[in-house]
Amino acid sequence: MINKAQSPKSKVQCPPICLTIAGLDPSGGAGIIADIKTFTAFGCFATAAVTSLTFQNTTGVFGAVNQTAESVRGQVLPVIEDFQIAAVKTGMLPTGEVIEEVARLIQEFKLPAPVVDPVVRSTSGFDLITDEALQSLIKSLFPLARVVTPNIAEAERITNLKIETFESMQAAARKIYDLGAKVVLVKSGHLVHDGKTRDLLFDGESFEVFEGQFIETKATHGTGCTLAAGIAANLANGKTLNEAVQIAKDFVTNAIRTAPHIGRGHSPINLITENGK
């Protein structure tokens, strides 16, 4: 959606405005910093509300201070009262109270259906959300989502299924749909087929497969956040969901391929790009 002349004095066409509601990774690879870079790469204006201050670098997550429902609402309200938001992305929503507040805000202000990245655990094994929060996420936020984008580990925790094959990815997608998500994108990650990743989109009727080149690397920090933010930005730019998924996936693959390899652990990917290229 294009924001027509939000500022009457400005002759510049306003870019679509995207909002991320997610955690802060101060090392810049994941969370809102990755989202802001991704929105910007696709020509959108980035806004962000922080749900948790995490303490981390490329080697791991060492702790987190979570925000409250009140402080998340306090951040989001002035932004949505002033700007017309074209797309919303959610990432780390650490507690039930934060999730319920985000669901309330979306319904109360009729925000665009969010791209929900069901962040559960960091690559290094740090639990980013409580078990109770996961149940809130499923019950309160999945039904409001435009699309829910779990990776295999997240899909396993949501469904209690073991996912080792493409067929079990399909079963998990069906189960997440049955749990209330209207559309599910299960990302294949390391579950590779003929050297290709195969992400699976399910809308309750048919499966769509999105292929990408698998790149064997440790530089994967922030891939989930970037994919979800890329989908949101492309929806904001007027693409269909299928187009948005393919464009965002190609963007992530390219960002992995050209990763800067910084830090001693899982390097962030390359988000220094122009116009999503």
Looking at the annotation, which residues are catalytic? 187, 220, 222-225
Give the interface segment with ligand PXL, choosing from 4-12, 20-28, 226-234, 241-249 (CB under 6 A). Answer: 20-28
How large is the C-alpha radius of gyration of the chain?
17
- Number of residues engaging ligand PXL in binding (CB under 6 A): 15
Q: Which runs of consecutive H residues, i.e. helices, occur in the chain?
A: 31-41, 69-82, 96-108, 131-136, 152-159, 166-178, 223-236, 241-257
d(C-alpha 201, C-alpha 210), whole Å = 8
User: Kindly report the CA angle at 159 between 67 and 246, in degrees rounded to 5?
Assistant: 80
Q: Closer CB to ligand PXL, residue 15 or residue 133?
A: 133
Give the Cα separation of 224 and 233 in Å (integer).
14
212 binds ligand PXL (CB under 6 A): no
Query: Which one of residues 18, 30, 185, 252 is an interface residue with ligand PXL (CB under 6 A)?
Result: 30
Tell me if residue 124 falls in helix, strand or coil. coil
| 97 versus 154: smaller Cβ distance to ligand PXL | 154
Q: Which residue is nearest to ligand PXL (CB)?
A: 23
- In the region spanning residues 152 to 191, those forming contacts with ligand PXL, defined by CB under 6 A, are none
Please report whether residue 54 would count as binding ligand PXL according to CB under 6 A. Answer: yes
Asked whether position 92 contacts ligand PXL by CB under 6 A, the answer is yes
- Exactly one of 137, 225, 228, 235 binds ligand PXL (CB under 6 A); that residue is 225
> What Å distances lie between residue 252 and 3, 34, 184, 237, 267, CA to CA?
27, 11, 18, 18, 14
Which whole-number Å values give the CA distances from 161 to 18, 40, 184, 204, 212, in the listed order? 33, 36, 16, 18, 24
When binding is defined by CB under 6 A, the residue of 15, 18, 21, 23 that contacts ligand PXL is 23
Candidates 22-30, 188-196, 199-207, 246-254; binding stretch for ligand PXL (CB under 6 A)? 22-30
The reply to whether 246 sits near ligand PXL by the rule CB under 6 A is no
Minimum gap (Å) between residue 120 Cβ and ligand PXL: 8
The structure tokens listed for 141 are 């936020």
**In the complex, which residues of this chain contact ligand PXL (CB under 6 A)?**
22-23, 25, 30-31, 54, 56, 61, 91-92, 119, 122, 128, 224-225
